[in-house]
A = this chain, B = another copy of it.
């Protein structure tokens, strides 16, 4: 759904169903948070019995108060599950569109809960209701002075929005931010995503001018194509970062049982997030580090990817340079001002480095030694940062007690501080990669996916003709017929095809290097004898293929993900493709330039490109083949899996050698 969420985030009034005089009730905690956050609109506590709650007039039910426009009211529901549906119906009846269901016990808790949730979704669809949850923490909009959650929100606003599918992860982030000198601008706890999901929220935040960074913790992305469409558009001007749980097989199984729904495969999700141009976070500490780094985002705009170091600890500079190199960044200047450096030394070193036009990014490392003036050094850093408003400074003061106050001071004064220098390096790298990615990022459009389903035969020779329609050359392949051996070109390859021979090589179904008609005849006899039963089914038959020479073997294919659509795969091919594990995935289709870029990321790329004075293979034809297969994938949504393996890449041209289709 593409709903207008303006009054959902910026309501004129908020009603809390389940507000209470019992301070232990979640409804009351939410009411208190709304009041304390300074919400300037009208507040309506709803309670069957109470007349007054927290000094506010209370109402028996939603229909009891009057409002000029109910479409501008937000209702927060925190009452036992069995009563929720009736409230939603009331909302629909009086024209309330924006609802948060805090209550849990729905889809996540079994069959009965799922039914209740489905009923809610039906009403929502019919009445175009914006419903967040159920089973969520609520939402916070700092700009609207609205904390409609039962969590403490922290006092400081920020320009970052956090979307969390898990209430627990949301709580942890909010708690981490408490008593820090920066906070979130928006916080949305998605819960069960019965109606509103990450796509709706991200889509709304695209036009939210207060927000310049969107971070989402997600356990599944149900509509990957819409995700790519929204995020590939947004990423261009506002970074989106994704922390996705369930990336291992084990984790993925858990995430499914946790949310009760089928997630896109881990590999597809990663390819899709990459295609959308989003920043991929590996763990919760990276999420915190990104929040920290982004406090000074406007200083990060330089194209410069080199990171310089200034430190009083030579050893730490070496360790940090190791990490810079590991991350593929370049080391600018590493300035070891020695163990006895005081605050003046730091100031002078920084001043000199920052005056150099070539130095734009500095990581300041300090360990507390005898002559170190820890807090004073922090003050000097803040002062010098003010003098150079276009340069990027971050710091890592190592140790414990001795650096505590200085860390807090840096925090308060917007110098990103990291517990360890290598964390600083890693998150810096991610942001620089993002800045680089969006330069060539194309918007993804899911519209090509809507073609009618055509029927494709999984027959071996038929599927070759399908490939031909998309501009592929095929190694000459004909059905074997007994007695015609002398008409084939030698050396030849004999192959068994059909449903019993999906993995030909494993079944001995490929015989190469047949030099004469004699040899072919013998090979046919052996193969037929070994697979007598299979050949009783006419769908299994033999083909004869010309033997290619002077090639590299590539595997090119796609697998259709229910959420993200076709995920293209290209890699080192041949019978050992699975062993070599040299492949790249991409979601959302490829164009020629994109294909060349993907190919250049393969380990086999230097060989294709003529390493060690050897011949070069036809990379442009290979890229063109990727583009063509990508078209085929879009236009044949009935094909679930498609592998060309091997795709022979010659010095000139490419040709399909074998093919496997699953419809």
Segment at the interface with B among A317-325, A348-356, A439-447, A619-627:
A317-325
Given contacts A175-B367, A326-B248, contact A318 B401 (CB under 8 A): no
Least CB distance from A611 to B in Å reads 5
B172 touches A319 (CB 8 A): no
A168 touches B313 (CB 8 A): yes
B322 touches A245 (CB 8 A): yes
User: How would you classify the secondary structure of chain A's contact residues: helix, strand, loop or mixed?
Assistant: helix
Segment at the interface with B among A192-200, A249-257, A539-547, A631-639:
A249-257
Chain A residues 510-565 with CB under 8 Å of chain B are none
User: A245 vs B309: C-alpha distance in the bound complex, in angstroms?
Assistant: 15
Chain A residues 399-415 with CB under 8 Å of chain B are 399-403
List of B residues within 8 angstroms of A455 by Cβ: none
Closest to A312 in B: B168
Closest to A166 in B: B315
B611 touches A579 (CB 8 A): yes
Indicate with 1 or 0, residue by residue over A625-656, a CB within 8 angstroms of chain B CB atoms: 00000000000000000000000000000000
User: A62 vs B420: C-alpha distance in the bound complex, in angstroms?
Assistant: 43
User: A248 vs B313: C-alpha distance in the bound complex, in angstroms?
Assistant: 18
Chain A residues 401-454 with CB under 8 Å of chain B are 401-403, 419-420, 422-423
Q: Indicate the member of A322, A399, A505 with the most B CB atoms within 10 Å.
A: A322
Task: Flag whether A26 is at the interface (Cβ < 8 A).
Answer: yes
B176 touches A400 (CB 8 A): yes
B579 touches A325 (CB 8 A): no
List of B residues within 8 angstroms of A506 by Cβ: 612-613
Chain A residues 243-295 with CB under 8 Å of chain B are 243, 245-251, 254-255, 258, 283-285
A325 touches B178 (CB 8 A): no
What's the tally of chain A residues with a CB closer than 8 Å to chain B? 87
B258 touches A321 (CB 8 A): no
B318 touches A258 (CB 8 A): yes
Task: Flag whether A466 is at the interface (Cβ < 8 A).
Answer: no
B575 touches A612 (CB 8 A): yes
Indicate with 1 or 0, residue by residue over A131-145, a CB within 8 angstroms of chain B CB atoms: 000000000000000
A334 touches B254 (CB 8 A): yes
Select which of B283, B317, B581 is within 8 A of A422 by beta carbon: B283
B248 touches A322 (CB 8 A): yes
Indicate with 1 or 0, residue by residue over A68-92, a CB within 8 angstroms of chain B CB atoms: 0000000000000000000000000
List of B residues within 8 angstroms of A316 by Cβ: 166, 168-169, 172, 284
List of B residues within 8 angstroms of A499 by Cβ: none
A283 touches B319 (CB 8 A): yes
Select which of B151, B179, B180, B367 is within 8 A of A171 by beta carbon: B367
Task: Flag whether A336 is at the interface (Cβ < 8 A).
Answer: yes
Chain A residues 338-371 with CB under 8 Å of chain B are 339, 367-370
A315 touches B168 (CB 8 A): yes
User: A613 vs B510: C-alpha distance in the bound complex, in angstroms?
Assistant: 12
A168 touches B339 (CB 8 A): yes
B576 touches A284 (CB 8 A): no
User: A606 vs B164: C-alpha distance in the bound complex, in angstroms?
Assistant: 42
B325 touches A285 (CB 8 A): no
Least CB distance from A21 to B in Å reads 18
Given contacts A258-B314, A317-B254, contact A180 B400 (CB under 8 A): yes
A321 touches B251 (CB 8 A): yes
Select which of B171, B311, B314, B581 is within 8 A of A399 by beta carbon: B171
Least CB distance from A401 to B in Å reads 5
Closest to A606 in B: B579
A172 touches B575 (CB 8 A): no
Closest to A324 in B: B250
The 10 closest A-B pairs by CB, nearest first: A168-B313, A166-B315, A175-B399, A248-B325, A251-B322, A245-B318, A172-B398, A172-B367, A176-B400, A251-B321
Known: A250-B324, A285-B422. 4 other contacts (CB 8 A): A169-B313, A176-B398, A248-B322, A283-B323
Please list the residues of chain A having a beta carbon within 8 angstroms of any beta carbon in chain B.
Answer: 26, 29, 104, 150-151, 164-169, 171-172, 174-180, 217, 219, 243, 245-251, 254-255, 258, 283-285, 311-319, 321-326, 331, 334, 336, 339, 367-370, 398-403, 419-420, 422-423, 505-508, 575-576, 578-581, 603-604, 606-607, 611-614
